[in-house]
Amino acid sequence: MDRRTFVTTTGLGMGFAGCLTTARNESGGETEPSNETEPMDSENDSVTSSDAETDTDSSDQTVTTDETHRDVTFDSCERARVSGTFEAGDVAFANTGFYQDGLYGDTRLEDGVVFGEDVDAPFSGTVIFEIADGSHIRERDGEIIVAISDYGGDGTVISSLTTRQADYERVVPTHENPDTSDCLGDLTPDDHSDASG
């Protein structure tokens, strides 16, 4: 089967992807299209409210997930941490929201690591995500620091983390930053700041 893929992106941090399948047999004739899909791996697909505990006594938001034995903390709009033990194939990625020239954009799974590929596995310690001048990964004793580029001219915030393989495959966040709206609100350019009466 001849399978062609197309990807289209826009300059606003949004993308569209799809797949065109040409249904031709080996002799070049048309065949009926198939609607077959692969079954989803539902082993780790659901998280109930009893799976997580939230510590709200401090300004940091910490979520302990029993399912993966990892702690996720959003220290600020520009810094987040995930601590625990990571095996080969485990993931830790940050997703961002930003403003560029007054327009909103976001990134999904742009900044992070796949354990066993990008960094050594197994790893026990903390992965730190922070907005920085450039994008790079540094390893120290018990820490991996993922520097995230400041994508927006008007500012960038860490909106969520993706730390489960099933979520990584579906390109969805595992842990949302509970302060994302406030963080983005602080970045919104004031269109009336230059107006004088």
pLDDT tens sequence across 10-49? 444 444 444 433 444 444 554 444 444 444 444 444 333 3
Q: pLDDT tens for residues 78-91?
A: 999 999 999 999 99
* Counted domains in the chain: 1
Tell me if 9 is assigned to some domain. Answer: no
Cis bond before residue 122 (omega within 30° of 0): yes
Residue with tokens 């998280």: 47
| Residue 3 falls inside a structural domain | no
For the chain, residues with pLDDT lower than 70 are: 1-68, 189-197
The CA-based diameter of the chain, rounded to the nearest angstrom, is 75
Q: Is residue 46 part of a domain?
A: no
- Does 10 reside within a domain? no
- Is 32 domain-assigned? no
